[in-house]
Structure 1
Amino acid sequence: MKPTFKLDAHPRRPRPLLSEPPAGYFDHLPMQIMARLPQAEAREAAAGWRWLAFLSPALRTSLASVAVLGGFAASFFLSGTPPLVPATASTASLDAVPRTELVGYLLTSGARVENSDLAILTAANPGLANGFLHASEDELNDALDAQPSEDATYL
């Protein structure tokens, strides 16, 4: 077991005596400090913004907020509107791709196609699947019956 520590049992080390400052140190100290202060030209340049010190902190904060929001609004309006691209360009290029190739891409590319997406497509164009889906009505019914469904709306 360790013995208890008692501070009185340990002798103190002698402190070294402080040395005297150089001769005339305190006489020259104010001049050295004044030499480090900003010059009069720098103070005159800052005088143009001195009026901000007279405003209340809430008013200064609101002024800064207005300046930031004004800069954002100005950059937004000066950037201009993006050039309009006709919407027919993308649909025309997709119409040139055969439907079987589109379906093959969607099934193999890892794209997340859900049943609701396909339901919207077939509702808009009921004969869409006739070109690539070759199954009898009995096969389709068997495949649909094998699907697990907990919601009564899909039955």
Structure 2
Amino acid sequence: MKPPFKLDAHPRRPRPLLSEPPADYFDKLPMHIMTRLPRAEAPGTAAGGRWLAWLSPALRTGLASVAVLGGFAASFYLSGPPAAGSASAATASLDAVPRTELVGYLLTSGARVETTDLAVLTAANPGLANGFLQATEDELTEALDAQPSEDLTYLL
């Protein structure tokens, strides 16, 4: 078995004394290193970008912002209006279905259409029910009066 290692039992080697750096060594060190680096041409001094160096930083930032926003606006302008063909095709296919069949579908329990949905629809289009609802005004009033309602919004 090895004896345990104790640092205090080992003598230290004497350290050599360090000499002091020359005066202003650390002040001159960055410039000394920079002079030894190879010089590369700055990217702003290329033939096409020299005029940008003459502009103030605020003007360069504004110019960049205008270029980005102009590109964004141009992309919206060039994309054109949305395709109206898909909306007209859906409307045309819905117009081909008879209204009695549509009303029958909406009144089935599986459609999950509530009376508030129909009330909003008829409020937007008051003459919508005239084409498929054949009832006199007295019959409609009697049917509406028979309906229990807590919300007076649709009764006025």
Q: TM-score, normalised by structure 1?
A: 0.52
Identify if the C-alpha distance between structure 1 residues 114 and 57 changes in structure 2 by more than 3 Å, giving closer, same or farther: farther
Deviation digits for residues 43-78 of structure 1 (CA, Å, limit 9, x no counterpart): 2x4313454343234322321222112222333344
Aligned match of 2:155 = 154
1:116 to partner: Cα distance: 2.6
Confirm or deny: 8 A CA contact 1:52 1:60 kept in the other structure.
Answer: yes
Q: Higher relative CO (CA 8 A, sep ≥ 6), structure 1 or 2? A: 1
Confirm or deny: 8 A CA contact 1:106 1:113 kept in the other structure.
Answer: no
Aligned match of 1:5 = none
Aligned match of 1:56 = 56
1:92 to partner: Cα distance: 2.3
Aligned partner of residue 108 in structure 2, secondary structure: helix
Identity within the alignment, % = 35
Q: Which amino acid aligns with 2:39?
A: A
Structure 2 residue 125 is matched with structure 1 residue 117: no
Equivalence map 1:68-107=2 (5 Å): 68-85=68-85, 88-97=88-97, 98-99=101-102, 100-104=104-108, 107=111
Identify if the C-alpha distance between structure 1 residues 63 and 23 changes in structure 2 by more than 3 Å, giving closer, same or farther: closer
Q: TM-score, normalised by structure 2?
A: 0.51
Q: Which amino acid aligns with 1:104?
A: T
The 4+ residue runs of structure 1 with deviation greater than 6 A are 21-24
**What is the distance in 1 between the residues matched to 2:36 and 2:105?**
82
Unaligned residue ranges in structure 1 (runs of 5+)? 1-18
Aligned partner of residue 41 in structure 1, secondary structure: coil
Aligned match of 1:12 = none
**What is the distance in 1 between the residues matched to 2:72 and 2:145?**
59
Aligned match of 2:40 = 41
Aligned match of 1:4 = none
Q: Which amino acid aligns with 1:47?
A: T
1:140 to partner: Cα distance: 3.8
